[in-house]
Chains A and B, each alone.
Chain A
Amino acid sequence: MDEELKKYRTLEILIFGIFAIIIVFSFKLQIFEGKKYHRLSDENRIKKKYISAPRGNIYDRKGRIIANTRPAFYVSVIPALAQQSSIESIARLLEIDLNTIQRKIKLEKNPYASVKISRDIPFEQISLIEESLEDLPGIEVGIEPVRNYPFQELFCHILGYVSEITELELKHMKDYKIGDYTGRIGLEQQYETILKGTDGIDFIEVDVKGRELGKVSEYRAIPPTPGKDLYTTLDLELTDSTAQFLKNFPRAAVIAFNPQNGEVYVIFSKPGFDPNRFVHGLTESEWQLLNNPDDAPLYNRTTMSCYPIGSTIKPFIALAGLDTGFIEPNKRFEPCKGGLQFGNRYFGCWKIHGSLALMDAIIHSCDVYFYQLGRYLGIDIITKMLDDVGFGKQTGIDLPQEKIGILPERKWMEKKYGKGWTEGHILNLSIGQGDILATPLQLARAYSLFANLDNTIVTPHLNKNLKTQNYVIDIKKEALDIIRKSLTGVVEKGTGMMALIPGLLVSGKTGTAENPHGDDHSIFVGYAPSENPEILVCIIVENAGHGGSIAAPIAGKIIKTFWAINKAKQYEKY
């Protein structure tokens, strides 16, 4: 080939070959990967702006709001636009730690997203910030709906509270974003998915500096879906009265519910806390205070504290004896002389009762009678009955973190004490002391067996839309009737007389739970009206002393108030 032509051809191939490469790569970018890059260019220019969905309201049984939302100011930072100096000055204005802000900013990967650094800011503070907002690039002030609890402490345990999701939770909770609130303890946690709602999205066009240019027309904004409302069975007035009755006692737990359908009127636990505080975010010292192990204000004592149940166990021991046919109602043991010598131990009674038959033994709560009955029945019969009525397992109430207590069955005993466990343990168990521990909720639920006329155990629930949860246990009707009569007797003439209400037949049982940490807990479980019970109350006042003198009168007041509120007309009739 001609030398000149060869050079020409070489250059021709080189020059045009290069353009072939350019065309191939452009084709790859624009045709093969065009969709991907189009999406990327949208992601560049379109900022998703979330609009917080208001949480669903929570109502009491008569439709009164016990939790709603209110508008609150927040301050947010757009990391890409905020200078270090403006972050520092906003930290000063808000009086929060600079590191806290920086940690929150680091969590957000998109530097143009606005990160809420402080929420529920008081009006005076926000006006100060708004004045200097012009000198603080990248700092925004906004309004969002936040949780509001109009009755502060009153429903704190049962409602729970909301607080910002933590970094750790964020990793496995896919539907949540940084800064989202989530329900903690109580109904807020239990019904989180219902109450939360779905945040809306505004699609905003932004330029490279993150300046907002307006809404994007191609994408329609998604409006926020508010959370669904929750209708509860709670009774605002009764709860408020309960709190009043207990105002002189630092630590107590009350549950009141309808034993027929399980609707809870009151769940109240002391001490409490103001759930509104969590919206703003707690300081370290506030958090420490709420978590002190002695008072444990965050603990819902009705479902999370386990107590020895004292004499309130006696009706179940008696029932076990009657139902199995081991004893008759007129069965008498050795008379009570104020105690019982058993082996080398002396088991005391609180009074010298003399010789009693079964019903009187319950009415006057004679320990000596039940020491002997328990020993006579043996551990297996007793714990079978306790197991049947629900001790040692969760009740299934619609509240989170429910404790199960301890039901000291034979296996459990052998595991704990080895072969060395003795009948002495049975004696203790027979009066509700020793190893047995139960939550007030378990105790209340077990008593629904007596308050119902058809052998059912009814589980309390809070969501009005839940069906009654119950189960029937196989027990002789006559045996149950004897216990019911005894419980009526307790209030009429026995240890529970202080729960007496003129004109209303109340049944119940007192308990005085010895505990190693201090004075006895005062316990009363009762229901009324005895003929057809509509309210069952279980109350434990910690370290308050005798069940008959402290818990019983308060239970009486609660029942009376319930009657006054709901049955005013019938009440007049009596």
Chain B
Amino acid sequence: MKNIDRSILFISLIISLMGLIMIYSTGGLNYFLRQAFWLIGAVIICLIITKFSSRFWMTISLPLYIITCLLTLIVLFYATGYPRRWFNIGFINLQPSEFAKIGTIMLLASYLAEKKKLEKFSDFLIPLLIIAIPSGLIFIEPDFGAAQIFFPIMCFMLYWAGMPLEKIIIFFSPLIAAITSFSIYLWLGFMIIFGIFVYTRKKLTEIVYHLIANPLVGLITPIIWHSLKTYQQKRIIAFLSPWIDPKGISWQAIQSKIAIGSGQLWGKGFLSGTQKKLEFLPERHTDFIFSCIGEELGFIGILISIFLYIFLFYRILSIARETKNKFLSLVAIGILSWFWYQTFINMGMTIGILPITGVPLPFISYGGSSLLACFIGIGIILSIAKVRHYEY
């Protein structure tokens, strides 16, 4: 336990314990005990991982990526049930998509660490390819929630590796064009404002890219969407958010907002959430566990949990900054962006400012694989923290 950054381990444990308590409230004793076993196992594995040298991570980055990607491929054929997300190994279920995140972060870091200069559009292609494989495989499972994580991780790591922020935004601007294309005014506004931004940069390739790619995407997306039959559109919506139930798309979102809002300042009290207890709240112990925190522990509970996360992320960000070795620093940023993005997406969806996609809340949501992957991430961070002042 020597040389370990105790604050990170400690804070992630506190968040996990808070999760355990809420799992007891939402899922009962059975779920609580199962998650508790997972937590013990995860912490042990985390502590073992801290012993690994940083060279070890560099050498296994490619094999780790290949193995985790293979697992996501195999799960498509040997999954238990549908969606095809889990392996059944004896008495436990494993979700390979959680571990693919780690493999992908490793490979991205080792690729980007070698790069001296990142500035051309072609520099995007290899990272895109690296995330496309696991992301695509997970998308097919289908698990849109998990598949979407890879993209922001890549953007954060590219930025940390030296790619200018403006370049990243311009390169991925067709995504914005696609989203805004459903309203002509939104799209026009985007085209004009973004056009001015690109024009001031006075780079011909960027201007040409903006003038060709964005109108094209903006035009094609609605055409493709509207050429689909209604049931096909519904199927896609259902595919992207698979557990939207017959009560309508907004049911879960509304019930989650009601749960959180009705908690008011102090909450309805532990174990007393009516939205949760009477099953108005969907996915109570997994994706919507944050709503139960809001309902039972109130605004105070939400504030406490957010400050715990902020402290954890602040610590990881500091370590990433202090780490002299570029590869290890990139790994830390990758893990940070993974945790952060999931936290943000999950909370945003429960309070109704983001669409509902199935993303668990790191350390808190019920689910062994997610918890284990998070603590593997913490273990890696801790092993990096030990050597952050060495150059290699």
Contacts and interface: CB of A to CB of B under 8 A. Distances in A.
Interface of A: 4, 7-8, 10-12, 15-16, 18-19, 21-23, 25-27, 29-31, 33-38, 40-42, 44-45, 205-209, 213
A12 B340 CA distance: 12
A10 B298 contact: no
A501 to B, nearest CB: 76
Contacts of B310: 16, 19
A10 B165 contact: yes
B275 A34 contact: no
A22 B263 contact: no
Interface string B301-315: 011001001100110
Q: Which 3 A-B pairs have the closest CB atoms?
A: A37-B261, A34-B264, A41-B262
10 contacts: A11-B317, A23-B303, A26-B260, A26-B351, A29-B261, A30-B261, A31-B299, A41-B259, A41-B280, A45-B280
A31 B306 contact: no
A40 B321 contact: no
Contacts of A44: 255, 258, 274-275, 278, 280
Given A8-B317, A37-B262, A205-B278, 9 more contacts: A7-B159, A7-B160, A10-B159, A11-B317, A19-B306, A30-B260, A31-B265, A37-B260, A40-B262
B278 A30 contact: no
Nearest to B259: A41
B351 to A, nearest CB: 5
Contact of B313 (A7, A15, A31, A38): A15
Contact of B263 (A11, A19, A30, A45): A30
Nearest to A211: B278
B317 A15 contact: yes
B317 A12 contact: yes
B353 interface: yes
Contact of B261 (A8, A19, A40, A209): A40
B325 to A, nearest CB: 14
Contacts of A209: 279
B258 A37 contact: yes
B257 interface: yes
B294 A30 contact: yes
Given A31-B265, A38-B264, A26 B279 contact: no
B344 interface: yes
A33 B261 contact: yes
A35 B262 CA distance: 7
Nearest to B267: A30
Contact of A25 (B265, B275, B353): B353
Contacts of B264: 30-31, 34-35, 38
A40 B258 contact: yes
Contact of A4 (B265, B317, B321, B333): B321
Contacts of B262: 34, 37-38, 40-41
B294 A26 contact: yes
Contacts of B314: 12, 16
Pick the most buried of B265, B303, B347: most chain A CB atoms within 10 A of its CB. Answer: B347
Given A22-B351, A31-B299, A37 B257 contact: yes
A550 B211 CA distance: 104
Interface string B130-170: 00000000000000000000000000100110000100000
| Most chain A beta-carbon contacts within 10 A, residue among B160, B262, B344 | B262
A30 B317 contact: no
B189 interface: no
B299 A41 contact: no
B368 to A, nearest CB: 26
B348 interface: yes
Interface residues of B, number: 41
Contacts of B348: 22
B278 A38 contact: no
A29 B303 contact: no
Per DSSP, chain B at the interface is: helix
Contact of B278 (A7, A16, A23, A206): A206
Interface string B243-286: 00000000000010111111111000000001100111000000
A152 to B, nearest CB: 49
A7 B306 CA distance: 23
Contacts of A207: 278-280
Contacts, number: 112
* Highest count of chain A CB atoms <10 Å: which of B257, B275, B278: B278
Dominant secondary structure of chain A at its interface with chain B = helix
Interface of B: 156, 159-160, 165, 255, 257-265, 274-275, 278-280, 294-295, 298-299, 302-303, 306, 309-310, 313-314, 317, 321, 333, 336, 340, 344, 347-348, 351-353
A42 B280 CA distance: 11
A481 B7 CA distance: 115
B299 A30 contact: yes
A536 to B, nearest CB: 67
A11 B348 CA distance: 19
Contacts of B321: 4, 8
Contacts of B160: 7, 11
A29 B353 CA distance: 11
Contacts of B275: 41, 44-45
Given A4-B321, A45-B278, A207-B278, A22 B344 contact: yes
Contacts of B278: 44-45, 205-208, 213
Nearest to B255: A44
Contacts of A33: 261
A466 B279 CA distance: 57
Contacts of A7: 159-160
Contacts of A4: 321
Contacts of A23: 302-303, 306
B274 A45 contact: yes
A206 B277 CA distance: 11
Nearest to A12: B317
B391 to A, nearest CB: 15
B302 A30 contact: yes
B351 A29 contact: yes
Contacts of A34: 261-265
Contacts of B258: 37, 40-41, 44
A348 B295 CA distance: 93
B274 A27 contact: no
A206 B351 CA distance: 24
B309 A19 contact: yes
A410 to B, nearest CB: 70
A33 to B, nearest CB: 5
Contacts of A42: 274
A22 B353 CA distance: 9
Given A12-B317, A208-B279, A22 B257 contact: no
Contacts of A15: 313, 317, 336, 340
A374 B148 CA distance: 102
Highest count of chain B CB atoms <10 Å: which of A11, A15, A18, A205: A15
A136 B214 CA distance: 57
A213 B278 CA distance: 9
A496 B351 CA distance: 89
B347 A29 contact: no
Contact of A29 (B257, B280, B313): B257
Nearest to A44: B280
Nearest to A3: B162
Contacts of A205: 278
A27 B265 CA distance: 9
A434 to B, nearest CB: 70
A51 B344 CA distance: 48
Most B Cβ at <10 Å: residue of A11, A12, A27: A11
A21 B298 CA distance: 17
Contacts of A27: 299
Nearest to B298: A30
B293 to A, nearest CB: 10
A77 B55 CA distance: 70
B23 to A, nearest CB: 20
Contacts of A41: 258-259, 261-262, 274-275, 280, 295
Contacts of B263: 30, 34
